[in-house]
């Protein structure tokens, strides 16, 4: 026999259970907070490479369509770098044998029409030229005028110029394309919904930052350590030291009224290139005020102090520095694990739980 009262009680229980589940779901949605991060830094600081790494580590990475969209960017990077290399060789009258004179002619023939960059002969000409020690030395004497990834692309020239070329993840990470405007990556981090904005680093783009300033929880600021000997080429500020430009920009950001409550994460980036450069470029030639021992550790500490000293950090922020090599996924994976803890602690602090 079926008891009507029991059925009624079972129905009521189900309704109560469903109501509780809806309340729990609503509370979870309420607790799932949107956390806003700005990825900032001067031009060529490696911001966009960091952004690519975060996309790889926290989302599904790049689709096949996105991967193929990097082909013209990478070939343009290679073409422009080869063009500059030939210019350096000509300016310095670097002696060339007949084979490499011919290689220069091949490159010059292709320069007016990058759409033809599918010739293995063109790629081989670049690669062969790059293997000549005198030409390499010439490039290193002029490397401040080249993109940092030029040697990488010269080494990969034959593959990049092949008709069936498909970019590798390393190719994509090394590619350089100026960030114009603002791009966004969204992903989840425990209970947080992260919205990270990569903002153009060129001076002409900085006026757009104002639109991102409301309710920013964290700033990731990227600095290129490799820029200590480089000059700006942007209009009205030509010949200003790039590292000093980054310090001035960092100063203006962390002391802004917009970021009083924001956590500040500082990436001292391009450490791999910086360490190599110090082997042949004296740091004191560009920063004579440095009086410590001339080694990577002490110079890195000096540069860090340029950013965190009280005359710059007037708001007395807790600044969380990390030494990074943006093209190294294993390095960024470790660094971002630490950044994750900073973000989670800051989010708890904001609601009075830390």
pLDDT at 148: 92
292 is in an annotated binding site: no
Rounded CA-CA distance 22/16 in Å is 10
Task: Give the 3-state DSSP-derived string for the chain, with helices as H, strands as E and coil as C.
Answer: CCCHHHHHHHHHHHHHHHHHHHHHHHHHHHHCEEEEEEEEECCCCCHHHHHHHHHHHHCCCCCHHHHHHCHHHHHHHHHHHHHHHHHHHHHCCCCCCHHHHHHHHHHHHHCCCHHHCCCHHHHHHHHHHHCCHHHHHHHHHCHHHCCCCHHHHHHCHHHHCCCCCCCCHHHHHHCCCCCCCEEEEEEEECCEEEEEEEECCCHHHHHHHHHHCCCCCEEEEEEEHHHHHCECCCCCCCCCEHHHHHHHHHHHHHCCHHHCCCEEEEEEECHHHHHHHCCCCCHHHCCCCCCCCCCHHHHHHHHHHHHHCCCCCCCCCCEEEEECCCCCHHHHHHHHHHHHHHHHHHHHHHCCCC
pLDDT at 283: 96
pLDDT at 13: 63
243 is in an annotated binding site: no
In the predicted model, residues of the chain with pLDDT beneath 50 are 1-7, 24, 27-28, 30-31, 354
pLDDT at 195: 92
171 is in an annotated binding site: no
11 is in an annotated binding site: no
146 is in an annotated binding site: no
pLDDT at 313: 86
Query: What is the pTM (predicted TM-score) of this model?
Result: 0.83
Rounded CA-CA distance 258/193 in Å is 21
Residues in the chain: 354
pLDDT at 211: 60
Same fold, 36-62+179-342 and 71-166: no
136 is in an annotated binding site: no
> Cα dihedral angle (296, 297, 301, 304), rounded to 10 degrees?
60
Rounded CA-CA distance 188/340 in Å is 11
* Superfamily of structural domain 36-62+179-342: P-loop containing nucleotide triphosphate hydrolases (3.40.50.300)
269 is in an annotated binding site: yes
145 is in an annotated binding site: no
286 is in an annotated binding site: no
200 is in an annotated binding site: yes
272 is in an annotated binding site: yes
Rounded CA-CA distance 28/131 in Å is 59
pLDDT at 4: 42
Please say whether the beta carbons of 300 and 323 come within 8 A.
yes
Name the maximum alpha-carbon separation found in the chain: 105
For residue 328, how many other CB atoms are within 10 A of its CB?
17
202 is in an annotated binding site: yes
Domain boundaries, the chain: 36-62+179-342, 71-166
97 is in an annotated binding site: no
Residue 198's DSSP bridge partners are 39, 183
176 is in an annotated binding site: yes
* Cα 329 from chain centroid (whole Å): 12
8 is in an annotated binding site: no
148 is in an annotated binding site: yes
Query: For tokens 């030509």, what's the residue?
Result: 238
pLDDT in tens, 14-59: 665 666 566 545 544 544 578 999 999 988 899 999 999 999 999 9
285 is in an annotated binding site: no
Rounded CA-CA distance 349/35 in Å is 13
Query: For tokens 């960091």, what's the residue?
Result: 50
CATH number of 71-166: 1.10.400.10
270 is in an annotated binding site: yes
Please count the CA atoms within 13 angstroms of the CA of 205 that sit on its side-chain side: 17
pLDDT at 121: 86
pLDDT at 232: 81
């Amino acid at each position: 026999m079926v008891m009507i009262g029991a059925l009624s009680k079972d129905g009521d229980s189900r309704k109560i259970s469903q109501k509780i589940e809806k309340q729990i779901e609503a509370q979870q949605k309420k607790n799932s907070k949107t956390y806003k991060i700005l990825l900032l830094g001067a031009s060529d600081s490696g911001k966009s490479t960091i952004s690519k790494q975060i996309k790889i580590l926290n989302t599904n990475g790049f689709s096949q369509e996105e991967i193929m969209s990097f082909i013209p960017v990478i070939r343009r990077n290679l073409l422009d770098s080869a063009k500059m290399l030939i210019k350096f060789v000509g300016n310095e009258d670097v002696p060339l044998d007949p084979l490499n004179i011919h290689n220069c002619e091949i490159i010059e023939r292709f320069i007016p029409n990058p759409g033809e960059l599918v010739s293995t002969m063109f790629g081989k000409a670049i690669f062969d030229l790059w293997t000549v020690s005198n030409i390499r030395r010439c490039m290193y004497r002029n490397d401040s005028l080249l993109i940092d990834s030029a040697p990488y692309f010269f080494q990969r020239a034959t593959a990049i110029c092949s008709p069936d070329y498909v970019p590798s993840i390393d190719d994509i990470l090394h590619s350089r394309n100026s960030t114009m405007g603002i791009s966004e990556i969204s992903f989840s981090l425990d209970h947080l919904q992260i919205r990270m904005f990569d903002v153009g680093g060129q001076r002409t783009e900085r006026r757009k930052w104002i639109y991102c300033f409301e309710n920013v929880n964290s700033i990731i600021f990227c600095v290129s350590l490799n820029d200590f000997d480089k000059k700006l080429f942007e209009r009205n500020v030509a010949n200003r030291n790039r590292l000093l430009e980054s310090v001035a920009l960092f100063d203006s950001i962390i002391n802004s009224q917009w970021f009083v409550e924001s956590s500040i994460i500082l990436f001292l980036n391009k450490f791999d290139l910086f360490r190599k450069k110090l082997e042949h470029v004296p740091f004191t030639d560009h920063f004579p005020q440095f009086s410590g021992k001339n080694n990577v550790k002490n110079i890195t500490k000096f540069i860090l102090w340029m950013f965190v000293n009280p005359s710059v950090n007037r708001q007395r922020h807790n600044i969380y520095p990390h030494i990074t090599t943006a093209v190294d996924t294993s390095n960024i994976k470790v660094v971002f694990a630490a950044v994750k803890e900073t973000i989670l602690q800051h989010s708890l602090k904001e609601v009075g739980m830390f």
